[in-house]
Copies of this chain bind each other. A is one copy, B any other.
């Protein structure tokens, strides 16, 4: 292969820093709060249903998740959730928003290296304010030429973002942990895509890997990204 790469897009949650782990911890806390009302699997399933139902209205992020937990608690308690449960859920949501940002291993060195040769663009879903705050707290904000917080990640999104902040998708690499949101639509837009799996992935983000696609690779760690890009160019 030989091509020009000018721009590297990076997903944020579970690519640059832990996120799903925090959601899982809050799920566990939610389940414990409602223990006795239903089996853990039922609680988990109902919460997933409510989240999915609310996605169109609330989008991605902690605030919508908090509202969905409250709604699920109401349903599981036949409309009469104890106040202590509601207070605990509010507190859990607030703690998620206040949680310190913990970059994943190797991320800072990898981004510092890439930023010397490519334009880095952060491309993420979630609450606008919260994502900006996490980036600021990560100390990596200055490495990015642009930040795009988007409500949906489809091929059109990647085409638009790489046109605006780079030289088009054909000269861009997208890197992220979600096959469904980061990889498949970026490939569809014509970009290269590097999948770096995270041990936990929200069910909503799962999808099969593409087969027979030269522009795709699966990497064990983001630390392998600079070497792969060097091989492309």
A residues sitting closer than 8 Å to B (CB atoms) are: 57-60, 63-64, 66-67, 70-71, 74, 77, 79-81, 83-84, 86-87, 90, 93-94, 97-98, 127-130, 132, 149-151
Contact = CB atoms under 8 A, between A and B. Distances in A.
A65 to B, nearest CB: 10
A134 to B, nearest CB: 12
A68 B92 CA distance: 14
Contacts of A70: 70, 86, 90
Contacts of A71: 90
A44 B28 CA distance: 35
How many copies the complex holds: the figure is 2
Given A70-B70, A86-B81, A94 B57 contact: yes
Nearest to A91: B71
A49 to B, nearest CB: 16
Contacts of A87: 74, 79
27 contacts: A57-B94, A58-B63, A58-B97, A58-B129, A59-B127, A59-B128, A60-B129, A63-B64, A63-B67, A66-B67, A67-B67, A67-B90, A67-B93, A70-B86, A70-B90, A71-B90, A74-B87, A74-B90, A77-B83, A79-B83, A79-B84, A79-B87, A80-B83, A127-B128, A128-B128, A128-B149, A132-B151
A36 to B, nearest CB: 17
A64 B130 CA distance: 12
